[in-house]
Amino acid sequence: MKIAVVGATGMVGEVMLRVLEERQFPYTELLLVASERSVGKTITYKGEDHTVISLEAAVAAAPDIALFSAGGDTSLAWAPKFAAVGTTVIDNSSAWRMHPDHKLVVPEINADVLTAQDKIIANPNCSTIQLVMVLAPLHRAYGLKRVVVSTYQSVSGTGLKAVEQMENEMKGVEGPMAYAYPIHRNALPQCDVFLDNGYTKEEMKLMTEPKKIMGDDSFQLTATAVRIPTAGGHSESVNISFNRDFDLAEVREILANTPGVVLQDEPQSGIYPMPLTAHDKDEVFVGRIRRDETLPNTLNCWIVADNLRKGAATNAIQIAEYITAQGLV
């Protein structure tokens, strides 16, 4: 099993390497791949030195699986070249997510849609992954009617430059700006660029990707995405209207028994999900579950996950684990 990590020097690439090691993914050869400016650099991983290679060299090596986290343009240009030599690409960018010919996968929800013919598999948006991990089991039980989600997203979702901007501002140091405004002691109601409809690209991902993952467009979903000054972890306030009424105890039981979901719902004891406690965890945490007293068949909840792990690296590696275990690669 030869595996390539494309974008190995980036934030998500580094987490992918850590998760590969933690989960003991069964590879025999590891290729670390990055842009031309990083080619030739040495990365020490699991006690061994690895030289970063180019995309051209990685394609020539024809790995069995390539984990991509190098941006949409790179994925559009290079994923088909890897696929052409028989590599299964698991792509973390938005390049292929809504393409009708490519699957969008959260393994706990819809891994069974994958076949050996799927050579480019899309990893969903980080905020989408944690959202659907909670929505999917509740949809099966009660039928979704309408979902309203407001996100509180870490600066790490923008990248290293944004984290450095926040850290510089905390220290009172001037430096490069990832955002148009300060992020320390601030909240920016803009994740990604604005579109003609007034929504951002991030919000539109949240509004379209869950329907594809769950294979159902019968429900409505609207979103507002906000960037906040946390170093890691995305949070979501979610209002969910169902077609049928529900019992709160049953909702909690369903979520507590959902693989990959951790119920933290004892607010009277100060137990609820937070980015701080979700840090470096692979699970999705849900709490503050309560009935919306203004609408029938509607509840509110609070969802938190580490956006670099389950929101990116871990989900991609779980896909790799599935296709390997099923003999699809």
Catalytic residue IDs: 126, 234
- Beta carbons of 297 and 243 less than 8 angstroms apart: yes
**Among the listed residues 164, 305, 169, 186, the one whose alpha carbon sits nearest the alpha carbon of residue 238:** 305
CA distance 311 to 133: 11
Tell me the DSSP string of 177-246: -SSSS--TT--BS-SS-B-TTS-BHHHHHHHHHHHHHHT--SSEEEEEEEE-S-SS-EEEEEEEEESS--
CA 142 to chain centre: 25
Instruction: Using DSSP bridges, classify how beta strands 29-33 and 2-6 pair: parallel, antiparallel or unpaired.
Output: parallel
Are the beta carbons of 34 and 57 closer than 8 angstroms?
A: no
DSSP-assigned states of every residue in 269-316: GTB---HHHHTT--SEEEEEEEE-TTSTTEEEEEEEE-TTIIIIIHHH
Q: Which helix (H) or strand (E) holds 31?
A: strand 29-33
* 60 backbone φψ class: left, alpha, beta (φ>0; ψ -120 to 50): alpha
- Report the chain's terminal Cα–Cα distance, integer Å: 9
Listed residue (21, 142, 116) closest to 323, CA to CA: 116
* Main-chain phi, psi angles of 304, to 5 degrees: -135, 140
Q: Exposed, middle or buried: residue 42 (CB in 10 Å: 0-12, 13-18, 19+)?
A: exposed
Strand partners of residue 43: 50
